[in-house]
Amino acid sequence: IGDLKQRCEVHDLDSPNDYRMLKHLARAGRTYMTPLGPDTDEAMDEFFGLLTKGRGTKPLTLQLRGRKLKVERAARKVDVARFGFDELCGKPLGAEDYLGLASAFHTIFVESVPQLSFNDINRVRRFTTLIDSLYEKRVRLVISAAAPMETLYAVDEANSDESFAFDRTVSRLNEMSSSEYLIRSISAHEKAKGTLLVYESDSVLTREEATQLFISYDADGSGALEIPELRLLMMDLSERMRGHRNVEDAEVEHAFALMDANGNGEVTQYEFTDVFANSSLTQVVAAYGETLPENALPQPSQSGRINRDA
C-alpha cells in the first residue's frame, strides 16, 4: 500500500451521499408521496431523518438582495430545508426567492400540496415558478401531495393556457423523481458549496466554514485570493448587507491590504480564515467593507507592511 501511494495519485471516493439509497428511493417513488395522510406524513418524517442524519432543525434567515427570507425548518449542517406548501406558495414570493432557496439547500421538502385548480391560480403559478427554479438549480425535491402529479392540477377547459403551462411542471416533477436527476443534483451542489447565502449575517463562522468560503472564491485554485477574487467576494457581501453590488476600488484595496498580513501581494487561506473565522459577516463588512476617507487608510510601516490595527 505504501508503494502504491508513493507511485500513484490517490483519489478519495468517500462521500456523505448514499447513491444506492437515492436510486432505491427514486425507484420506489418516495420523492413524490401521495395521498396525504398519516402514512405519508410518517414516510416524509423517515426520509427527512435519513437525509439529515437525525439532526434537528432551527430557523435560518437568508439575505436576498437586501431582503430577508425566513426558513423556519433548516438543517444547516446538511443543507436540507422543510416547508409547508403555503409557506412557499401561499405568500407573495417570486423566482428570486426560490432561486435563493435553491442556492442555499441541496434538498427541499414541500409538504401538503393540495389539489390545485384555476381557483388557486396565484398558488398554482407560484408552484410552477418554484419547480422551475429548483429544477434549474438541480435541487432535490421531496413532495407530499393530495393527488398524483398527473392529476394534481384539475384541468379547466376554459383556461387551457394554464393547463399547458402545468404540463411542463408535471414533466419536470417526473424528471426530478428519477435516480439520474438525483445523482446529477448531488454533483451540482457539491460544486456550489460555500455560498454566502447559507450564512446568517449575525452568525459566527467556524474555521471550517471560513475555509470553505475561501475555496469558493479562489477561482483559479491557486491557494490565494487576488484582487479580482476579493472584489467578487466583497460585491457579494455588499449585496447581502447593503442591497447593492457597488464596491469602490478603494474599498477593495483597503480590505486587501488589511487581510494581506505579510504584505506579499496575496491573501492566503490562513490569512483569510484569520479574518473570517470566529466573526460574523456583519463584523467583517463593518471592519473591511466600509468606504473610508483617504486619510483613514492604513499606512505601510517602515518595513513596507500594513499595520492591521490601523
User: Mind listing the pLDDT tens digit for each residue in 4-15?
Assistant: 766 676 655 544
**pLDDT of 36 higher than 50:** yes
Choose from 65-74, 97-106, 122-131 the range with maximum mean pLDDT.
122-131
**pLDDT of 294 higher than 90:** no
Taking CA atoms, 8 is separated from 4, 14, 15, in Å, by 6, 18, 21
For 70-87, what is each residue's pLDDT tens digit? 899 998 777 899 999 999
* CB neighbour list of residue 222: distance below 8 Å, 6 or more residues apart: none
Instruction: Give the sign of the dihedral formed by CA 265, CA 269, CA 272, CA 275.
Output: negative
DSSP one-letter string for 239-257: HHHHSS----HHHHHHHHH
Determine the Cα–Cα distance for residues 308 and 310; give it in Å rounded to an integer.
5
Tell me what the mean pLDDT of segment 121-144 comes to: 93
Instruction: Give the sign of the dihedral formed by CA 244, CA 248, CA 250, CA 255.
Output: positive
Longest CA pairwise span in the chain (Å) = 80
pLDDT at 131: 96
* Of residues 200 and 212, more confidently modeled: 212
Choose from 57-66, 154-163, 284-293 the range with maximum mean pLDDT.
57-66
For 40-54, what is each residue's pLDDT tens digit? 999 999 888 888 887
Give per-residue burial for 163-196: e unless 16+ CB within 10 Å, then b: eeebeebbebbeebbebebbbebbeebeebebbb
Best CA proximity match to 202, nearest among 309, 60, 73, 103 = 60
* Of residues 38 and 309, more confidently modeled: 38
For 228-283, what is each residue's pLDDT tens digit? 888 888 877 776 666 666 788 888 888 888 888 888 888 999 988 888 877 666 66
With residue 273 as reference, give the H or E element that holds it: helix 269-276
Contact call for residues 69 and 62 (beta carbons, < 8 A): yes
